[in-house]
Amino acid sequence: MKKAVLLIIALLLALWLHPFTQADFGGFSGDTDYGGGGWDSGSGYGSNDYDYSSNGWGSDFGFLLGSGGSDESPLWAYAVVIILFVLFIRSRMRRGKSTRTPARSGPPPAGATPTPASQLLPLTELIKADPNLNESVLCERISDLYVRFQKAWQQKDLAPVRPHLSERFFAQVNRQLQDDYVAKGLTSYLDKIAVLEVRILGYRTNPEQDELVAYLRTRFINYTRDDATGAVVRGSTSQEVFMEYEWTLVRKRGVLTRPGSSTPEVNCPNCGATVDLSLSSKCAFCGTVLDTAENDWVVSGIRGLSQRGRQ
């Protein structure tokens, strides 16, 4: 019984030293692969490869803490766990009880289920009502937002991307960022980001708003560092991760795309001042926070569909 207690304490110690903290914006990449099929590592990425990985924006902006740190937690912690685990097994064997743990079976944890095509209308129908809506421009914008979201997540400041998030989704991810990183003194790093594919799957509508559903496929390297020590406490500084996502973007029903402008300037409903929604959703004069979805597309939800790692 005492050995069992010691084993539990050691396992908790190991978890404390090696926190299970998600890495990418919104916390969809994790420690294990899930969902979807495998990746063809030998194939190219095609014309939809929006590659931002020249040196990785992390290193370009000076976020990395040099070459210090390690990809693993302290070895002594794992040694303690192993020793106590062996002692526990020996104790159980001496009592004549089997200690063999059944092997895991079945598929890895599943990702979110993609939205069925039957629930979506073709984008061409929306373009008929909004002729200035350009699918290619929209995909490029989504690709750019993906990288900007990751950058804001790494800097632990979502203010620069707040205009591109619905109020509810912003509150959700900002709370997660504060709880999982700021409060714990951790920083999530994503290097060598490449957006490999963006597709608009379709849209749906209701009396209040239109909803676009987009598919993203990306590649990056992710890891988490302890701010105080610089040590890597999760992830790898060398292993590539491939992720698939489904994004939902919403806009007030009836709003049309303005020609030659991806994000409009609007007047604050409180004081009348001009607010550039590409920079901020908060009026610089009176502090009123505008609902960007009243004037343009904003991201209202992100779902992780699958993850695959490659060394």
Which residues are bridge partners to 244 per DSSP?
217, 306
Domain ranges for the chain, please list them.
23-72+109-310
Whole-model pTM over 0.75: no
DSSP 8-state class, residue 131: T
Per-residue model confidence as pLDDT tens digits over 87-120: 555 655 555 443 333 333 344 455 678 999 999 9
pLDDT of residue 5: 53
Mean pLDDT of 193-219: 97
In the structure, what pLDDT confidence band is assigned to residue 34 with cuts at 50, 70 and 90? confident
82 vs 216 pLDDT, higher one = 216
pLDDT of residue 279: 56
Go through 31-44 and write b for each residue having 16 or more CB atoms within 10 A of its CB, e for each that does not: eebbbbeebeeeee
Backbone angles phi, psi at 85, to 5 degrees: -65, -40
Q: Is the pLDDT of residue 43 over 50?
A: no
In the structure, what pLDDT confidence band is assigned to residue 193 with cuts at 50, 70 and 90? very high
Backbone angles phi, psi at 299, to 5 degrees: -80, 120
Q: Measure the CA–CA gap between 264 and 208, rounded to whole angstroms.
A: 20
Query: Which two structure tokens, joined as six digits, stand for 28?
Result: 């969809």
Q: Where are the beta strands (DSSP E) in 160-260?
A: 186-205, 209-226, 232-252
pLDDT of residue 113: 87
Contact 244, 114 (CB under 8 A): no
151 vs 110 pLDDT, higher one = 151
Per-residue model confidence as pLDDT tens digits over 113-142: 899 999 999 999 999 999 999 999 999 999
User: How does the average pLDDT of the chain come out, rounded?
Assistant: 74
pLDDT of residue 282: 61
Backbone angles phi, psi at 119, to 5 degrees: -90, 0
CATH 3.40.50.300, domain 23-72+109-310, yes or no: no
Query: Which two structure tokens, joined as six digits, stand for 113?
Result: 């289920």
pLDDT of residue 35: 78
Per-residue model confidence as pLDDT tens digits over 218-270: 999 999 999 999 999 999 999 999 999 999 999 999 999 988 655 555 566 56
User: Does an H or E element contain 276, and which?
Assistant: strand 274-276
